[in-house]
Each structure stands twice: as C-alpha cells, then as structure tokens.
Structure 1
Amino acid sequence: MNELEQKLAELNKRYGADLGDRVEGLEGFLSEYVSSGSKIALEKLYKGAHALAGSAKTFGFADVSVVAKKLELSARESDDAEILFVRLSELKKLISS
C-alpha cells in the first residue's frame, strides 16, 4: 500500500468511527423538532441527512448512504415524526452492526 492509499484508508477509518456522532446529531435535530415543532430543526435534519448521504458514499459506506438518503427524503417530503423516527432507527441499527 502506497502513502496515498494509507492516508485514504486512515480517512475512511476516521469517518467510520465518527458515524455514531453524526447520527447522534441527526437524532438531536429530530428530538428538537418533535419537542418544539421547529421547522428549522426539521430543515437541519434534512440538511444533515443530505450531507451524510453524500459523504458516506464518498467514503465507501454505500449502505449508510442509501439509508441516510431515505431519511433525507422523508424529512423533505413529510413532517411526520413517526416516519422520521423509523428512518433514523434504520440508520442507527445499520451503523451499530
């Protein structure tokens, strides 16, 4: 493995290690939305899921990207907290396995 490949592998490893924190952030936005009805929190959830969907694919976590995209679309198309919790739970389950 050359130096560039080693650096990329290290970045991927760090990204994977940070996935839990990223999902916790999304969970915080959803909790804020549920407790306050804040459309700003819902928008933050949407943007966070969008960013996760894109970055996860870039770093080789295609399965995380697919589920994050579902959460993103749900946050954009619906304000139903139950649906959003289901999508977030799918994401949490995936990264914990």
Structure 2
Amino acid sequence: MSATLIPVAARIAAALNTANGTGQHEAAMRLLKVTEEAGEATAAYIGMTGQNPRKGISHTTADVADELCDVIIAAAVALHSFTATPAVDLTTKLDAVALRLTANATQHDL
C-alpha cells in the first residue's frame, strides 16, 4: 500500500475535527504541532551530531529523516485548517517553487 500525503492528512484532519472541533483554538493547536515536530527533528539532529556531551550520539540520520516526515505530515494536517483546497494550494506552491528553480537555473546558465 502506498499512501499519499494530502488524502492521509485529510483523514487525520477529519478525525481531529471530530475529536476536537474546528475552531480557532484547534487551528492554532495544529499549527503549534508543526513547531513541536520541528523541535523533535532538531533534537534528533543534535543527538545525531552528539552536540549534547551528556548524551553523546543518540540518534541517526534515519531518526532525523523520520522526524522530518512528521513535520511534513503535521504541516499538511494544519493546512486543512487554513484552506478548503489544500491539494490545490500545495500544488500551486510547488509549481511556483519549481518555476523559480527553473528561472534561477536559466539565469545561472547565462
């Protein structure tokens, strides 16, 4: 089975809507969840590099990657609280970024 981001995020958002409602507070909590997950990714990176002498090396690159996936999922879930068309908005953003990359590559080729 191969899941795709937006449909799974929609299912998570729907479950959260049922459990917690859809008010402004809930939207804020979903946005804060993105920050929480980003903090966990940062902690995994610190553990991977051994920057905390007390803990030493406690994480791997796979741990960092796993936490980054959680950030992406949390952001996709939060996106559902701020738009009725998350798939369209994400695609539009990705297209704009891809266009900028193409434009920048063309400029560098001059």
Decide: shared fold, TM above 0.5.
Answer: no
TM-score by length of 2: 0.37
More helix by share: 1
TM-score normalized by the length of structure 1? 0.40
Which is greater in Rg? 2
